[in-house]
Structure 1
Amino acid sequence: MEKREVYDTKINESLSILLKSLENHDTIKAYKKIEKKIDEHDGLKEMVEEIKQLQKEAVKFAHYDKPNAEKEVLRQADELQETFDKHPLVLEYRECLVEANDLLHHLTSLLQSQVNESLEKLLNEKE
């Protein structure tokens, strides 16, 4: 086996371990759990569909130069969007999303730092 193949195998194994660890991290589990709740919540799905429909209607009214109708439909869409945004599951989802993003950002920064250090060592050894 070539040196590169051994190196690639080690990288893939390490990546698999990392991904498995991430899946089992409490922050990621919490995110996936709330994401599933939202996906299964019929009321939230209906709100999203209604908001989309209202936005489509607003585009049509704008196209046919009906500013008053467009304004009213946009007001309804904004009102529904505000209700959606204040829903407890949506608030919890956004909080979990921020935590998961922070975790992934921290992990990415850590990996980047370690890779850069390793590359610097390799370059210094070759000099």
Structure 2
Amino acid sequence: MRVETSIQLEVDKLIELLTTHETILRYKELEKKVKKSPYLKQQTEALKQAQKDAVNFAHYGKKEAEKEAIRRIETLTQEIDTHPLVVAYRAQLVQANELLQHLTQLIQTEINHYIEEEDNASKD
């Protein structure tokens, strides 16, 4: 039970360190800005509508209308993907992911090392 409590305390410390890490804070800040952007909301809604239109046009066999809806989807997707806020958000997301992957790898390495030591100690 003491080991579990100790582990939980260390996990809590790690979570605290992560939530206050500059990379994570910047990611959260950009995420909020993306979610609050009226322009991006409008573009996202227009994209969803164009996708619905394309599906409906395809269902009813309206090939030209479907092609136009698909062109609209491509245009809207390009506009969203190249918006500076989205570009910054995605770049920060990559950095946050790399940080988490690095920490995961460190923890995994330490746990594996500990397990190997325990196995070797039990063999001796």
Q: Which residue type is aligned with residue 80 of structure 2?
A: F
Q: Which residue type is aligned with residue 99 of structure 2?
A: L
Tell me the residue number matched to 1:41: 37
How far apart, in 2, do the equivalents of 1:83 and 1:62 lie?
24
Query: What secondary structure does 2:61 align onto?
Result: coil
How far apart, in 1, do the equivalents of 2:116 and 2:61 lie?
62
Tell me the residue number matched to 1:20: 16
Q: Which residue type is aligned with residue 86 of structure 2?
A: V
Identity %: 43
Coordinate RMSD, CA, aligned: 0.7
Report the alpha carbon displacement of residue 41 of structure 1 after superposing the two structures with TM: 0.7
How far apart, in 2, do the equivalents of 1:8 and 1:113 lie?
19
Q: Which residue type is aligned with residue 86 of structure 1?
A: T
Structure 1 unmatched runs, 5+: none
Per the normalisation by structure 1, the TM-score is 0.94
Alignment of 1:1-127 (within 5 A): 5-127=1-123
Which ranges of 4 or more aligned residues in structure 1 deviate by more than 6 Å? none
How far apart, in 2, do the equivalents of 1:56 and 1:7 lie?
54
Number of residues of Structure 1 aligned to a counterpart in Structure 2: 123
Q: Which residue type is aligned with residue 66 of structure 1?
A: K
Q: Which residue type is aligned with residue 17 of structure 2?
A: S
Cα distance per residue 1:89-121 (max 9 Å; x no partner): 001001100100110110111111001001111
